[in-house]
């Protein structure tokens, strides 16, 4: 791994921390904050690719686990990894992996629509596929009840985050195409 790779991994772990510093938006219907932090895996995977995106997310989670208050609301330590919402955090790693893999596969043809589709597939589909069953198991709810209680209200905001992330991915691809070097099909970029 090159020095450039290490810098990008650390930089995007820092971006994830900054996204957690944005004040959460409280929805009046539910008492759960909507944060910008769930956009981080979309950016990590879409801009860094699968390997570097996952490593960046893992670095961020290690920093949280050792106690740095980097999650939204200033949370850190091991407690966020064992609660009812923890599945969504674990889903971030898989989201960065899937988005990165898809972005690598389609780098030469990547555009706004495909970038948005990749962000939705990973940042919403994968994160919810891990987070909702975890929430259901921890709360004793059925999957449909857990989805209604833990995810459904967040989908509009997540679609907005996917739109912003996909725009950033496409802009970075156009303005800094060398970031794609080493990706499948992207060595010509």
What are the sequence ranges of the domains in the chain? Answer: 3-180
What is the spatial distance between Cα 125 and Cα 101, in angstroms, rounded to a whole number? 15
What is the spatial distance between Cα 16 and Cα 34, in angstroms, rounded to a whole number? 15
Buried b (16+ CB within 10 A) or exposed e, 99-133: bbbbbbbbbeebeeebbbebbbebbbebbbebbbe
The pTM assigned to this predicted structure is: 0.88
Which one has a higher pLDDT value, 95 or 22? 95
- Class (C level, CATH) for 3-180: mainly alpha
Enumerate the β-bridge partners of residue 25.
34
Mean pLDDT, residues 67-88 taken together? 93
Judge whether 40 and 63 are in contact, CB under 8 Å.
Answer: no
pLDDT tens digits for range 146-163:
898 778 878 888 999 999
R_g of the chain, CA atoms, integer Å: 16
Least confident span in 50-54, 95-99, 149-153, 167-171: 149-153
């Amino acid at each position: 791994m090159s020095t450039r790779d290490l810098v990008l991994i650390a930089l995007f772990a820092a971006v994830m921390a900054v996204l957690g510093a944005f004040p959460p938006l409280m929805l009046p219907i539910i008492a759960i904050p909507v944060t910008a932090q769930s956009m981080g895996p979309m950016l990590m995977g879409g801009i860094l690719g699968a390997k570097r995106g996952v490593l960046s997310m893992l670095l961020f989670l290690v920093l949280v686990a050792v106690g740095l208050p980097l999650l939204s609301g200033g949370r850190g330590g091991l407690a966020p990894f064992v609660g009812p919402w923890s599945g969504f955090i674990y889903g971030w790693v898989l989201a960065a992996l899937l988005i990165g893999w898809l972005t690598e596969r389609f780098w030469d043809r990547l555009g706004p629509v495909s970038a948005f589709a990749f962000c939705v597939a990973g940042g919403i589909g994968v994160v919810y596929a891990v987070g909702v069953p975890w929430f259901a198991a921890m709360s004793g709810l059925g999957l449909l009840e857990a989805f209604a209680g833990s995810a459904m209200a967040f989908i509009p905001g997540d679609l907005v985050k996917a739109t912003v992330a996909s725009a950033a991915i496409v802009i970075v691809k156009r303005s800094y195409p060398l970031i794609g070097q080493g990706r499948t099909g992207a060595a010509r970029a």
